[in-house]
Amino acid sequence: MASTFQETLARLRETRVWKSIFRRGPALTNRTRSLAVFGNLFLHFLPVKVREKSLRVRATYYLGSISFLLFVVLAITGVLLMFYYHPAIPQAYRDMKDLQFVVSNGVFLRNLHRLAAQLMVLAVFVHMFHVFYRGGYKPPHEFNWVVGVVLLLFTLFLSYTGYLLPWDQLAFWAITVGTNIISAMPFLGKYVRFQLLGGNVVGENALLRFYVLHCVVLPLAAVFLIAIHFWRVQKDGGLTVRDEDGRKKD
């Protein structure tokens, strides 16, 4: 079976359609393999070669990838939840209840979204600790460390803005308390709070603003930064394994 599959794939690679999509024929040498990775929009920010040691399975294996995988899960389940959700009062709460009790598999998707969100916060934190204790913030990785810290903040913002959307008591008071903490910021606090809530109280405007931030603004910004983050991992010389390899740090 496997050989039949590989033969079919090899024949497919010779076709004009394949060459048109991937801009080249079969990648049989290391050079053409590298070019295939570089020439592909979806792969070009990944390293062409990875050292075997950095792929060894450990307790901290692939923490960044786990964070990204959770982000993808959240994007997919989030879009699916959007099909049933109106960011309006009191419809938002009813839609959330409908998802729980009426919509087929709604409770599954909602819980998946919520649990993945909580796991992503955890994964991002553990990823950060791992990078920190391995010295991943040292040159030439300083900039990517900063991008990572901003991504941590985006993860927390996404988590916070999503918290209001069920429009239950927990959501309402959490956002009331949270935005009052924001207003403690010197000088700018009350203006930031007013802009964030679109008013002085947590109401319709606040729900709509948090919805737009949660579903459009923050995810787009996160995708943009994630792309830079991955690209820099490759450009800065791959994953940080120097200490373990017994090589000298630069």
Which residues are at the interface with other proteins (CB under 8 A)? 173, 176-177, 179-181, 194-195, 198-201, 203-205
To the nearest whole angstrom, how small is the minimum distance from the Cβ of residue 110 to other proteins? Answer: 26
Q: Residue 40 or 205: which CB sits closer to other proteins? A: 205
- Closer CB to other proteins, 111 or 200, in the complex: 200
User: What are the CA-CA distances from residue 102 to residues 36, 74, 111, 115, 177 (Å)?
Assistant: 48, 21, 14, 20, 32
Min dist CB 216 to other proteins, Å, is 14
CB of 208 to other proteins, least distance (A): 11
With respect to other proteins, which residue has the nearer C-beta, 108 or 194?
194
Residue with tokens 């570089």: 38
Work out the angle at residue 36's Cα, subtended by the Cα atoms of residues 32 and 41, and round it to the nearest 5 degrees: 160
Cite the DSSP H helix spans in the chain. Answer: 2-13, 16-22, 30-38, 63-82, 91-101, 106-133, 142-164, 169-182, 189-197, 204-212, 218-235, 242-245
Q: Which is nearer to other proteins, 65 or 200 (CB)?
A: 200
Radius of gyration of the chain, Cα coordinates, nearest whole angstrom: 23
Q: Given its phi and psi angles, is residue 244 left (phi above 0), alpha (psi -120 to 50 degrees) or beta?
A: alpha
Task: Using the minimum distance from each CB to other proteins, give the nearer residue, 72 or 212.
Answer: 212
Nearest to 70 by CA among 105, 111, 113, 108: 113
What is the C-alpha separation between 198 and 179, in angstroms, rounded? 12
Shortest distance in whole angstroms from residue 82 CB to other proteins:
22
Contacts of 246 (CB under 8 A, 6+ apart): none
Give 179 or 240: the residue with its C-beta nearer to other proteins. Answer: 179
Q: How far is the CB of 149 from other proteins (least distance, A)?
A: 25
Nearest distance from C-beta of residue 92 to other proteins, angstroms: 16
